[in-house]
Amino acid sequence: MQWSNPIPAPLDWRYENLESKLIVGQDERRVLLERSLASENKHDKYIFENQQLLKRNNDLESALQELAREYQGLQIQTNKHINRRWLEDSDVFACMKCNQQFSVTVRKHHCRNCGNIFCDQCSSKNTPLAASKKPVRVCDQCYKELTS
Ligand SMILES: [Zn+2]
Ligand SMILES: [Zn+2]
């Protein structure tokens, strides 16, 4: 009886060939896995950044809304202030200090501080106010109080 080679040369060669293909395949798989992990990390990073941006956007939006509310409140207060303090031109017929009657030549002037109405002589001075750095017309009484 003649013993044949248990693994014939071609089979052996095929086995080696398969083995090297397997190694190459494993390498490729590892590279792909690394790549997919990397892209997953990147993906997570993008999601995180997106969330941060979204959060910041929300923060800004609520800050903006708060500002708008504050602004509205201030505006209401300012309007109240103006309505309370500014006399209507039509209600006043004479200077509130010297009592001179207003006419075409004697014009009405609002004191920007107390809001009362005076003739030109009784409100001839200008001074800066808390609400305005630029000097504005004030009555003599207010001028005295503001500059003393
Ligand atoms: Zn006057
Ligand atoms: Zn005044």
DSSP-assigned states of every residue in 24-90:
HHHHHHHHHHHHHHHHHHHHHHHHHHHHHHHHHHHHHHHHHHHHHHHHHHHHHHHHHHHHHHSPPGG
Q: Which ligand is nearest to the CA of 115?
A: 2
Q: Are residues 14 and 73 in the same domain?
A: yes
Q: Are residues 61 and 74 in the same domain?
A: yes
Kindly report the average pLDDT of the chain as a whole number. 86
Taking the centre of ligand 1 as the mean of its atom positions, its distance from the CA of residue 122, in whole angstroms, is: 4
| Of 69, 85, 101, the domain-final residue | 85
Put simply, whether the predicted model's pTM sits higher than 0.95 gets the answer no
Q: State the pLDDT at residue 134.
A: 94
Q: And the tokens for 6?
A: 């248990």
Q: What is the pLDDT of residues 59-105, one digit of tens each?
A: 999 998 988 888 888 887 777 666 656 677 778 899 999 999 999 99
How many structural domains is the chain composed of?
2
| Of 85, 100, 133, the domain-final residue | 85
Using CB atoms within 10 A of its CB, is residue 66 exposed (0-12), middle (13-18) or buried (19+)? Answer: exposed
Taking the centre of ligand 1 as the mean of its atom positions, its distance from the CA of residue 94, in whole angstroms, is: 8
Closest CA to 128 of 108, 147, 109, 148: 147
Q: Which ligand is nearest to the CA of 120?
A: 1
Q: Are residues 17 and 74 in the same domain?
A: yes
Lowest-pLDDT choice from 35-44, 91-100, 116-125:
35-44
Taking the centre of ligand 1 as the mean of its atom positions, its distance from the CA of residue 112, in whole angstroms, is: 15
